[in-house]
Amino acid sequence: MNKLVAGPTAVALFLLAGCAAQGPSLASSAEDIVGTWKTTIGATEIQFNGDSTYVVTTPAFVARGEYRFEGTRLLLKALDQCDIIAVGALGIYEIQLLENGKLKFTPIEEECSTRVGRMQVQTIAAEWEPVP
C-alpha cells in the first residue's frame, strides 16, 4: 500500500518542483508584445505594431524598423540609420514576459550598438512596462 501512495506522491512533487523552477516565459509571437512599452529607467519607449513594424522613441532620436519572431527569438531590422551601422542592421533578442506584466530584453546578437544600449537602457536590469 505504501508503494501505491509513494509513487503518485513522488510524481506530484517532481511536477511541482519543475513548475516552480520555470521562471519567466519567453515571448514567441507578436501577440506577446504588440503595444507601446516604456523603460522603467530613462525615457525610452518602443512601440511594436501589429504590422510587424516597430518605433523606438528617445529624447534624442526616433528609429524605425521591422520585427519578426523565429521561435522565441525576436529579430529586429533597422529601417533607419543606426549609429554607424547602415540601414538593415539586424538585432536578435529574447524577451522575457515577467510575472509583473513587464518585459525584459536579452540581446543574443546585435549589429547596432545604439539599439542594444537603448533596449537594455545601459543596464542589464532594465524592465519595460506597458504604456496605457
Which domains, ranges and CATH numbers included, belong to the chain? Answer: 24-130 (2.40.128)
Which positions ≥6 away from 45 have C-beta within 8 Å?
36, 37, 38, 39, 56, 57, 58, 131
- Write out the three cell numbers for 117: 544600449
Query: How big is the chain by its Cα radius of gyration, in Å?
Result: 19
pLDDT digits (tens, 9 = 90+) for 12-33: 444 444 444 567 899 999 999 9
pTM, 2 dp: 0.74
d(CA 39, CA 28): 21
pLDDT digits (tens, 9 = 90+) for 24-73: 899 999 999 999 999 888 788 999 999 999 998 888 888 899 999 999 99
Interval 89-95 mean pLDDT: 90
